[in-house]
Chains A and B, each alone.
Chain A
Amino acid sequence: MSPLKLVALACVVSASAASLAAYSDPLPPDLTYRPLPTQPLSSVRANDEAQKPKVMKRQQNLLNKRYDLADKPIPDARMSGGQKKVQDGVRVRLPDGVTWDTLASMSPTEIRDKNLLPEGFRPLPHVKQATGGQVFPQKAIDEIGKQENRDLKRFDVDFDLPDHLTPEFPPPIFLTTHPELGDVSRGELLTIKNFYEYMNGIITPVQMEGLRLLLTPFPQEEFNQTEDRKVAQQSMGVACLDCHANFHTNGAFHLTPDVRPQAARFRLDSTSLRGMFNQQIHGSKRSLRSIEDFTEFEQRTAYFNGDHVSATRKGVNLPDRPNQVAMMAQMQNIIDFPPAPKLDPMGKLDPAKASEQELAGERVFMGKGRCGECHLPQTSFLDNNMHDLKLERFYNIGYTANDQVAIADGPIKTFTLRGIKDSPPYLHDGRLLTLADTVEYFNLVLGVKLTKEEKDSLVAYMLTL
């Protein structure tokens, strides 16, 4: 070997030794995995209860700063069960000195440099980001407590949004197998106690068994029997339909299982399970390819923050794929969207039934507003894709709000717009409170410069879906 080659070889050896050394980086041991608690439950609970008023106050301050939370419904618009009014108007507060139009006329860089992106457009923190976990609205806690004597109330946090900004509860249930029946919920919340009586004769044995499993509580990160829980009594756990109430959503939220570290995890608003039969990718980030995959895994991701090790400790339920998972999936797959009588079979408005304003809204949706490029009417307003809206073009990431570190959202799955008036708050983390907010959001993100009239027509159109 020539001397030169020898030198080269020596360099390679020392370089690889150096890069090997770099792999032994001193990193914190609990960056990815959930740390074990260092304190007994009694002392954790005492501290949590002492902190609770401050936690709730801090979150209320953040919400009030970002949004107008008032109860101001649209006069004639109700959710599909007819019990709850749909909220009106843009609720995201503008920074001083700008209007929606002046904001839309600025470049993303200018908005970023002048820090003018409304805070309500940015990631919404969990009530207690450092702890995270599932948080249920009071109505759901009360109803499940009443029917099942199971306590979903946490001692460290409460639900943060006012009731009028959340979905109707309990919401109606529509079945693809029985369109003629309409809502089959009887105005009640389906629980492990009443499901058999209510569904007997309407669904098949396989669907019935799937429904039973979807209503059976299993241990969860905050609701279990160990010292690492956030409920006073030892708990039987949480059922799928505790969040997906009547296969829709009650607005319960938690933190995404898909991101670490804890401070950077984004909030997740429970999605509706209506129309799952047409959706090809599941989860805002996970893009799981079937309802079966999602069902099988939800008890390690939603239930245990995507930490299967923690699940093993607290009691994991592993539904059997060919039997239980298949039945749970078959039950979910017969849940229909609410009826939309103005839509034709291709998802377009029937001009004989729709108003001028609604038709104008559809034209904006399909044309200038560009909404229809992702929300395709004939595929349930889905494109079965994830899109990176690149909101961080408009603001500097890395700041901390209520212990949440804002990072870029990255690609998120397109959500359906069928039955959209039934499922506030909007976006994956529930950062937008009304449909008018979503119009302002996309107007800015897409740079489509809609007029006031066009925006109003889009809202009117979305109410028909």
Chain B
Amino acid sequence: MRNFLTIILMTITTAPAAAQIGNPAGFAPDTRMQEPGVPADHQTNNQDRLFAQLAAAGGLAEVDLAKLAATKAADARVKEFAQALVDDHSDANSRLKALADAAKIPLPDTLDADHKAVRQKLDAAEGQAFDVAYIRSQIIAHQKTAQLLAWEIGSGEDAQLQRYSAATLPAVMKHLRMAQDIASALTGQASREIVAAKHN
């Protein structure tokens, strides 16, 4: 998985600029153009800047919570999932940081209030209750990340941030499905695919 992500993240930067074509009605008024209709590298609009900050906050929190779960989870599948998140996100987060730096977008470096609240809840939970709470928090986190990435793909101006989003989204969808499957195995909650029951 780690290799897979690194490879797509490497290829996206070399893809042609025509791969992303936004609605110019949403360009920032001070956009510098590489040629008419094509913003120069690292030119951003409001959406790009907000995206980078929210995605960084989410990425930071997912790694933080995954590190916790990788040691604290009772169920092996939850542990494995958490470890996969640590690996994948560390790469994705540093790639995002590089793009944001190039576009001069300041990124958060501490947990925001919402993720702190989740962290507190997880700190207080133990055993099976922890596993379920963690997985549920990750389902919500991945739902939100998927929305955020798709939003950037549709509304952004910085083609590299958009390509970063497009390259990251399949893995996020995959993690979302993994989390849903684990939640289904742990609690018996409905899922779109048949999952071997593990709850008792």
Contacts and interface: CB of A to CB of B under 8 A. Distances in A.
A48 B37 contact: yes
A11 to B, nearest CB: 8
B151 A54 contact: no
Interface stretch (B27-35, B65-73, B75-83, B91-99): B27-35
Given A15-B121, A130-B155, A51 B51 contact: no
Nearest to B36: A50
Give the top 4 A-B pairs by smallest Cβ distance, nearest first. Answer: A50-B37, A398-B173, A47-B24, A262-B154
A263 B153 contact: yes
Interface string B31-47: 00001111000000111
Given A50-B36, A51-B21, A22 B118 contact: yes
A129 to B, nearest CB: 7
Contacts of A264: 150, 154
Contact of B26 (A38, A55, A58): A38
B114 A22 contact: yes
A28 B47 contact: yes
Given A47-B36, A405-B169, A28 B24 contact: no
Contact of A261 (B113, B117, B154, B172): B154
Most buried by B among A24, A30, A57: A30
A365 to B, nearest CB: 29
A25 B146 CA distance: 15
B200 interface: no
Contact of B117 (A18, A28, A398): A18
Interface string A18-39: 1001101111101100010111
Interface residues of A, number: 44
A44 B24 contact: yes
Interface in B106-122: 112-114, 117-118, 120-121
A47 B37 contact: yes
B21 A403 contact: yes
Given A18-B121, A21-B117, A129-B154, A39 B24 contact: yes
A138 interface: no
A217 B114 CA distance: 48
B144 interface: yes
Given A21-B113, A28-B50, A38-B28, A261 B147 contact: yes
Contacts of A46: 36-37
Interface of A: 15, 18, 21-22, 24-28, 30-31, 35, 37-39, 43-44, 46-51, 54-55, 57-58, 128-131, 228, 261-264, 390, 396-400, 403, 405
A130 B21 CA distance: 7
A86 to B, nearest CB: 34
Contacts of B144: 25, 27
B23 A25 contact: no
A35 B117 contact: no
5 contacts: A26-B57, A263-B150, A398-B146, A400-B166, A403-B21
Interface bracket on B: 35 or more
Contact of A400 (B112, B114, B153): B153
B25 A44 contact: yes
Contact of B151 (A31, A37, A48, A55): A31
Interface in B135-159: 144, 146-151, 153-155
Contact of A50 (B25, B35, B146, B154): B35
B71 to A, nearest CB: 22
Contacts of B113: 21, 24
A403 B25 contact: no
A249 B118 CA distance: 51
Given A39-B29, A398-B172, A399-B169, A261 B150 contact: yes
A22 B36 contact: no
Contacts of B20: 403
A54 B18 contact: yes
A131 B169 contact: no
A38 B29 contact: yes
B59 interface: no
Nearest to A401: B166
A262 B155 contact: yes
A14 to B, nearest CB: 8
A89 B148 CA distance: 41
A50 B19 CA distance: 15
A396 B170 contact: yes
B162 to A, nearest CB: 8
B174 A37 contact: no
A31 B23 CA distance: 15
B150 A38 contact: no
Given A35-B26, A38-B29, A25 B114 contact: yes
B22 A38 contact: no
A41 B101 CA distance: 32
Contacts of B117: 18, 21-22
B27 A39 contact: yes
- Residue among B23, B36, B118, B153 having the largest count of chain A Cβ atoms under 10 Å: B23
A132 to B, nearest CB: 8
A21 B118 CA distance: 10
Contacts of B23: 128, 130-131
Given A25-B144, A48-B37, A261-B150, A38 B166 contact: no
Contacts of A262: 150-151, 154-155
Contacts of A130: 21-23, 154-155
